[in-house]
Each structure stands twice: as C-alpha cells, then as structure tokens.
Chains A and B, each alone.
Chain A
Amino acid sequence: MSISIRPGRPMDASDAARAREHQQALRAELPLVREAAHSWRIGLGGLLLALVGFSLIRGPSEVDKVEPPWNVVIGCLLLVSLATGAYGAYRLLSAHNGRPRTRPVDRRTSASTQNHLLALTALKDLRHGIIATFLCTVFLVAAVGTTWYGPEKAKPKLLVRTTTGAVLCGDGATGDGRRLTLKTKPGRVGVPLSDVLVVETVEKCP
C-alpha cells in the first residue's frame, strides 16, 4: 500500500479551534466510555437483580410440574440465560475497568492514540455486554413464561381390568358402591364393581 501526504487546504482560526476540540475530545474519550460502562453496568445489574429477586422460578419442584420435554426446554433456557448473563457481566466489567491483563509497552504511539484504541475496545465490550445482558433477560423471561404457561405434567391415570377382558383407562374415578365410573377419552364409562379384576395407577393410558 502506498501513502502520499500533500499540503491540504488553507486553514483559518475556526478550523484550528475544531482541530483543538477534536484533540481534546480524543483525550477525554476513554474516561467517557468508562463512565458510560459504569452507568450501564449499574442499570443492567439492577434489572437482572430485580428479575431474579422476584423469585420467578422457585426451583426444580416448579420445573418438574411441566410436561416433558418442556421441563428440559426450561432447563436449557435457564442455562443459556446464566451463560449469557455471565458473559455480559464480564464484558460490562471489562468495559468499565479494562481487560484483566497487562498490555505490552508501546513507545511507538502517542498516549492519545493508545487511549483511543482502549476506548474502542471498551466500546466493543460495552456493546457486547449490553446485548448479552438483554439476551440473558430474554432467555430468563422465556424460561419463566414456559414455567408458568407451559403444559402441565399429566396426572397419574387409573387402569382397570375387568373379568370380561376389557381394559379401561382414565381419571376422575367415582363410585356408588356398585359401579365404578371412569372419565376416559371417549367419555364416562361405568363398570360394575363385581367385574373389576385389577385397578392400578399408570403414568399414561396405553
């Protein structure tokens, strides 16, 4: 790549003032980015704390009430939410405090330029941190929504075998001393108790 430098346009005092402001903006850039990262960190941290603090998901007992495979989906959503939250926190902390590592000594470039490059890195961290934290919130809300509104796990069913060889399966069993009535898929079915051979509970009707 070839680079050529030639004299530019004539300048006046206002151009010089703009150039000076530009230099001053460069010198103030890194503290501004760090300050912005601090504000975002506090704001997003508060948002997540509020969400988690509401105890939206009380633990495995609540997740277990959801029909498979939705309980697995909730587990995955929570895991991804945790991962994106941790990543977002790391990027936001890096944006505010800098990356946790030393930088090689650079005698070639000016302090302003080095700070500008650091500001660019911090800005990138800030952008990624914000996106990751919002994603964490989205996954968390999705997990909570699935827990609250997902299909409930089916209750155990009653399986009745009769002496005639018939098999009835359903729930909501009622009896009047002589007949056992079951709520089955086709409808309510009654069986004389004297014909009942076996009654057992099953997870699912065959």
Chain B
Amino acid sequence: MSDAKSRSHKAQKVIDRMGQKLSRQIAGSMIACVHCGMCIDSCHYVLANPGDPTYAPPYKADKIRKLFKKHFDWTGRVAPWWVKAGSVYTDEDLQELKDVVFGMCTNCRRCSLNCPMGVDFATFNRMARGLLVSVGVMPEGVAVVSKDQWETGNQMGVLKEDYLETIEWMEEEMRDELEDPDAKIPIDNPDCEVIYSINPREVKYDPRTIADAAKVFHAAGESWTMPSEGWDMTNFGLFSGDDDLGASVAKRLYEKVIELRGKRLVISECGHGLRSTQCEAPNWAKFDVPFEMESSVFTMLRYIKEGRIKVDKSRNPKPVTYHDSCNLARSCGVTEEPRELLHLVCEDFREMYPNRAENYCCTGGGGAMSMSEYTPRRLKSGVVKANQLKDTGAEVVVTSCHNCVDGLTDVIRHYELNMEVTQLVNLVANALVIEEKVAVPVERVPEVAVADLPLAGRRLVVADDEPDQVEFLAAVLEDNGATVFRAGTGDEALELVRREKPDLLTLDLSMPGRDVGEVFEMLRTELAFEDLKVCVITGRPELRRLIYDRSVRRPEGYLDKPVSEESLILNVRKILELAHEHETVG
C-alpha cells in the first residue's frame, strides 16, 4: 500500500494543504534549525516543567518540521530516519499534533527572538494550527469562538442590541459621573477623526473601559464615533491560524471605517487585536487599507503631549508595574509608549524583569484562555509570570491587552498574589483633570447606606458546584446589597428558583445531577419564571451549546470564569437595570 493510501482523509488533507501554506519564511525556518538548544529555556512552559524535554521549542517544532522533511525536503524523503522525518497517518496522529500546537505553546514568539538562526517557530506553529482547523481538529473552545466570530462578527457572540445597550448604559454612567449632559458616546457618526473599535470582552465583562475611553475622548474634545457594526477589532483567526476567518473579520471593520469616512481607526488596548488589525489582516484579506490605524495608547499619549487633556498622577498613587503583551512587544514593537504614558499618569512605576520584548507570556496568549482542557497546564506554566509579578513589589499590574488581563488575573488568583490588574485607559481616565470637578472639594466620603447599595432589594440564586466559587459570588453580591440563595446542583437551583422567586439566577454549566441545559429550558418554559433573568457563569465555554442550542430565549448574560468582582457586579447590574428600564418603558 502506498504512503498516501494508508493515510486518513484528514491527514492527507493536512499534508496537501501544507504544501500551499509554505512561504519562503516558513520553509527557511523549517530547514535552518540546527538543534543547538539555545532557545530551550526561553519558553515559560520549559521553565515551569524542569526536566521535561517535550515542552522544549525545538522538540515541539520538530513535530511540525518532520512533516516538512518527509514531504518537501530531500534528505527526509530519501532517509527519513536520519533526520527524524515523519508523517501523520491517522486522526489520532492529528489529535496528538493538536495537543502540541494548541496546548503546549501560546505562540508568544519568545523562542523566535532567542533563536540565533532566526527560526520563527511561532509563525509555523500558527500555520500548523490553521492546517488542523481546516480539517476540524481543534480544541472545542477554539471551535466555539471561531463559530461565534464567523456568525456574529465578534468572538464572544455579542448581539448588536446588547452592544448598543451597553454603550447606552456606559454613556449614562459617564454623563452622571461628569455631570455633563453633553457627554456622549456617538454611534455611526460619519466623517469623524477617530473611529474607536473595541474588544467584545469590554462589552461583556469590562464595560468600564468603554466609559473610561469615552471620558478621554470627551475631555480631549475629539471628533469620534463607535461603529454600530463591525466594531470588533479582535481576530480569532490569529490564534486559530485560519487566514480566511482573519480576513473576513478584519474586512468588516475596515469596510465600516470606510463607510463612515473615518480618518483614523483607534484600536482599544488589545495585543492580538492591534497585531491582527494593523499588521496581519491586510495581508490575509489582500486589502490595501486607506486609513491610519493606531493603538489607543498612542492616542492617549498624544492627547497629553498636545495638551488636549490634563492628568494628575497623584490620583494613581499605588505602586504599579507594566506587563508587556507578547503581541505588542514582540510583534508590533510597542514597548516605550505605554511606559511613557505610565510615567505621566502614575506616581510609582516599577519595572518588571525581564521586560519589553524579553517579557514572559501572561499564559493566556494564543487563544489559550478559550482552551479549558489545557487550563491546569497553563496555570502550572504561570509560575514564571507569578514570580516576575511578585518580585516587582507592585500592587497593580497594568497591561495593554485584554487577553493578558484575563491571563494575569488567573495567575494572580492561582498563586494568591494579592494584586489587581488594570489597563492604561483606566489609569488615564482616573487621572483626568476636568476643571469643574476639581473645583468641588471633597471633604469626606459619605457612608453608603444599605438601601443605596447597587443591588439592594434584589434576590439572587447562585448555582455552582464549586463551594469556593459559590461563596465568592455570593459574598460579592451580598456586599452589594443583594439577598443570595446558594445552590450546588441543577435540581437545587430549580427548587430555589421555584421557592424564592429571585430576580436573577447565576448558572454554572457543569454541575452534578440534572443536566443544566434541561434545567435552563424548564425555567424558560414555565410561565411563573417569565421574568427571571439568567446569567451563565462558566469555566467551560465549550458547554455553551447546552444552553444556546435550545430553542428558548437565550440567557441575559454570560461570563467566563475567572470572574472579577467588578465584572460580576457590572454585569448583574446591567442585566437587572436594563430589565427594569424595559419594564418601565413597557
């Protein structure tokens, strides 16, 4: 039997498509490695797993390189054993390759920068991901997120109405805070200087960053707008290796900017978003972008330098450190501007070592946060980052990347570091000097009466099978005035909802006993629960289909674990306040 005939259909496709994907840069990287081992301990997985050579970058690279040698190079064809050439034959072989390219590397590019030969492992690891994705072999989380981005145009499946409602809500918050009825978040205004694009994570978990950016634009007197569609600047194509997805997502954004005749696209703080939108996607989409693009870090820095906004660094007195995102530092060269900005808006900045292009990955890069099956491995590799963070002595770690926010939050919680994570936009907004506000002296902080707490009078059921998680969620909600009932299984949740008639249920997707999807459907179909709001909180995004594939009304909210206090409260408030507004209007 010939070599090709003994190969599964998928494996054959991978080999065939590899031939089309090999650029000169990638082929050079395939041939040039001399197995010198200089890159080995540049990888955080290696450092966290001493003695295990399977994490070594050249070892992982050889899992892909062997295919090149076997099918495209000379010596490998003639004497494969001599150069360790090999092939993939079965679907199990592809699964093994999947485990390496998705589960043992975050494509952080640290090894590439440390290779004396200029071998860019991260680039051909992405190629291998793309080949596997093209035959449907990928972690389930990657499939779910890719599907969302193909279908809805954003990687978290945020519906247009949710996006617009959140912006409206943030506009009201900003207006109240600034006591300025003219403060607005414009939508779809044509001919603006700035079109501001964001990460869907901001809508779902961190809407405060939208309001903070809006404050900065408002204070600078900028002519700006946000698009109603094509607003997602993230691009899962970078992580999955799917150039078609990458091209499609970016084109939606580019075409919207062109439609609105925007002069400049400003990309909110997101490492992979900036890299994809600014650097990679014009190539994927074969699209010549006719407008300027920049990270919001550059925009904010320019506003300060030009005197368009004033900042008072004493408003950010806590010691802060800066985590360089891999995509920003090693693929976009953005290292000095964030530091310049930090020096302007913070009193006590402490450098992290190593830093800039030599910084270690947050552990959440390359889409790792969506691959829950690799979470234990990822958290173990986080010890490198945890030690770096601890050594700074800072209380706050600042990063210009949403992925890093989640990755760092996870590391900080896992290694109990007692630090908080924030972004530059939050610090700049906090340091903003707005004349009217400065004129009002604040003499004392009034005590908050229980009735003034944001969730006062609200009844909530928290359903989760992890006792620590239940206690955490319940404590945060109770501290904000809610009355909370605790459930550990789907049946208990059902019983509590029937008995206590809460306003909102937080629902974990993986609990023992009755299937959570079934519980959800029962709640949605029983007339008595028509007004019940549901917020899914899960660490396993691949289980979303248990809920979302059902032909009943979707949950009002969705949060990925780990959940921060702020995002929990913001999201619960958003769900309840929007529900209240709709009831009032109705």
Chain A bound to chain B: no
Q: Chain B residues in contact with chain A, CB under 8 A?
A: none
| Interfacial residues, chain A to chain B (CB-CB below 8 A) | none
